[in-house]
Amino acid sequence: MTNANSNPLPRKPVRIDPRVPWLADMRRLLSPMSGVTDRPFRDLCRPMGVDMGFCEFASASGLMFDSESTWKLVDTIGEEGRVGIQIFGSDPEHMGTAARLLSKMHMDVLDINFGCPAKKVVKKSGGSALLADLPLLQEILHAVIASSEVPVTAKIRTGWDEDSVNYREVGLLLQEAGLPWVTMHGRTKAQKYSGKANWDRIADLVETLDIPVIGNGDVVDGETYRQMVEHTRCHGVMIGRGAIGHPWIFEQMKAVDEGRPDPVIDFSEMCRVTCDHIRGEVELRGPKTGCYVVRKHIAKCFKGYPGAAHLRRRLFGTEDASEMIAILNEAAAAGDPRLGEV
C-alpha cells in the first residue's frame, strides 16, 4: 500500500530521560524473540531502519551460573547501532547479579521481561507471571536498577487475564521507579498471541504516563504501523513476529515516518537478503543449525509469490548452506520461485 500521507504521525509529547537523549527520535524497535533476534538477524534488520535491536531474551539464572549457551544469546561486543539486552527470571538476587555481570557487555539499555507468556518462562514465575505478583515484580525491579550500569526499561502486557488487567498500575509503578520508557504488548498473558492486540489499552497507557510508551502487537507492515501510532499516539513501535521473514517491515515503517511511498521489495532482493541471513547464521551456529534457524524466516519470506511452496520445498530439502544459496541465486536470476517446478 502506498503511503500518501506526508503529515507527521500524531505522537504524544513526552518527558525524555536525560540519560537517553537519543530516545527522542527512536521510533522503530526490534523485539527480543527466542530463536529469532540473534546477532545475524539484528545485523540484517539494522540497515532496514531499526533504531534499536534487542537480543534474544536471556535467563538471569543462566547468566549468573555462567551458562555458555545463555551468554551466547547476549553477544553484542562490537555491534553497531543501539542495542538492548533483555533478561527474565523470578529471583531478585539472580536478576540483580545478572544485571551486574552484564556491565561488561555493549548495550544501551537493560530490559526486564515482564511480558513473555511462554510456558517455559511463566512456569518459573518469570515474564508475564510477575504481573500477578506485583510485590515480587517490584523487588526484582529495584534489584536490577540497583545493579545495572545502564538505564533499565521493561516490557509488559495488559495483565494476567481479563479479570486482572493492571497495566495502569504497573506502568505507573515503573515510571515512579525511574524507567525512561515502557513497552506494552496489547494482550493479556492468557491470550498469548490469540485474538487481537488491544490498541485502546496502549492508547490509555500513553495518556496515563509522562514517559514514552512503546506499542507492540499486530503491526505487520507500514500501514498497520501508521494505524497503531494514529490510534495510540505511542512514541514508537516494537516489532516482534511481524519481522520474521520480513525484515523489510522496518523499511516500510521508516517510509511512513518520512512521508515516502512504500518501498518496493522485489523477489531478487528477498533472495539476496535470505542468502546473507544464511551466511550469518552458519557463521554463528554452524552449517546444520544455521540452515535450520533460517527456515522459520523462509517459511514466511516468499509467501504470496506463485510457486513459493515449490521454492520452500527445494530449500527445506537440503541442510547444505551452499546448496540453499545456489537455489536462491538461481531463482533470483530467473526472477521466479517456480524455477525447476514440474
Question: Is residue 45 flagged as an active site residue?
Answer: no
Three-state SS string over the chain comes to CCCCCCCCCCCCCCCCCCCCHHHHHCCEEECCCCCCCCHHHHHHHHHHCCCEEECCCEEHHHHHCCCHHHHHCCCCCCCCCEEEEEEECCCHHHHHHHHHHHHHCCCCEEEEEECCCCHHHHCCCCHHHHHHCHHHHHHHHHHHHHHCCCCEEEEECCECCHHHECHHHHHHHHHHCCCCCEEEECCCCCCCCCCCCCHHHHHHHHHHCCCCEEEECCCCCHHHHHHHHHHHCCCEEEECHHHCCCCCHHHHHHHHHCCCCCCCCCHHHHHHHHHHHHHHHHHHHCHHHHHHHHHHHHHHHCCCCCCHHHHHHHHHCCCCHHHHHHHHHHHHHHCCCCCCCC
Q: Tell me which of 116, 271, 275, 291 is the catalytic residue.
A: 116
Query: Catalytic residues, which ones?
Result: 116
